[in-house]
Amino acid sequence: METQSLVDLAPLARLALLGIVVAAGPLAWIWLRHRGASPARRLHALTLLTAFLTFDLIVFGAFTRLTDSGLGCPDWPGCYGKASPIGARAEIHAAQTEMPTGPVTHGKAWIEMVHRYLATGVGVLITVMAIVAWTERRRGTPGLPSPWWPTATLAWVSVQGAFGAWTVTLKLYPAIVTAHLLGGLALLALLVIQAQRFAPKPLALSPVQHAALWVLAGLSVLQIALGGWVSTNYAVLACTDFPTCQGRWWPEMDFANAFVLRRELGAAADGSYLPFAALTAIHYTHRLFAYLVLAAMLVVAAMLRRAHRSGAWALVALAAWQLLSGLTNIVLEWPIVAALAHSAGAALLVGLLTLLLTRAALARSTVPAGAIAARAWSQG
């Protein structure tokens, strides 16, 4: 019986070509819309568009995970050694016939490959950003941030590609899948930072406000990691009631196995099946920590109400959005629309906090500390 290699680099060139095709549309749109603009403005527009497409990629990645399509093509970077599921029709049909309810179907294969095409397209756009940034730097074009930003972003998207490959080859290893999610959010944050540096809008904050914003960012990243751990371990339905879990305020939980990073999907630390009490611990920890993060979002929003009114209201709106979408996942037993909304809300929160922290950093780098404190004090 023939075995399928998990890593087959033969279709890599064809996949790269498809990524160029995907990126050609956004690049053409930028060129047509900003024909007469300066190089800095065109690069700024490309950075914003790439950030938007990265957000879309994160949400589609969540869709791939939620539809159990991560192994729709069980090798990488192609699909059974082909550049698309069209060429792998026979192999997919054979796998689906052998396991009708298994991870490989024609629909799942297309979802997985579309995710890879989109990721490759984003990688091409970031490559163009880096090339253009260095080219314009050598020409002495004014108004550009350091080209090392897109260079670092290109390096990071390459790391993301490696995590994507490991997600498949390690058969949805929970720690790798969660790291892949966090890496996508880090990529989004890098692009938001660059977009802000093209059009600086400094945000004067007091030291207390600035520290509170950083604390919220840290809590949010930890909460998103806990949420990713819930999703990648399929622990959402471990508690289907609210505010209690399994009818109790403190259900039976197995923390010893819940947060072991070096284990396969569905397996405990000793290799046995992961007990349901561990899934309960994963779910309930995320829920309890959500109360702290929601409270922190409201407190920081109140602190920013005068310094950045729109940012404060955005925090309140995202807090409500995440609470409602999270509750919907529990009460309605994980409908995909609510799950995607919850993932999108997490990405938007990362983008918003990155925007606010970048503007605060810009203010600190351009305005003396005493002036920042005085301005923050006058804003209340």
- Active site members: 112
Q: b vs e for 135-159, b when ≥16 Cβ sit within 10 Å of the residue's Cβ?
A: ebeeeeeeebbebebbbebbebbee
Decide: residue 290, CB within 10 A, 0-12 exposed, 13-18 middle, 19+ buried.
Answer: middle
Residue 256 phi/psi, 5-degree rounding, is -65, -35
**Cα–Cα distance measured from residue 319 to residue 333, given in angstroms and rounded to the nearest whole number:** 21
| CB 57 within 8 Å of CB 184 | yes
How is residue 260 annotated by DSSP? -
Q: Which two tokens stand for residue 147?
A: 């080209």
E strands of 48-147, at which residues?
76-77
**Cα–Cα distance measured from residue 339 to residue 170, given in angstroms and rounded to the nearest whole number:** 24
Residue 191's nearest CA partner among 232, 225, 160 is 160
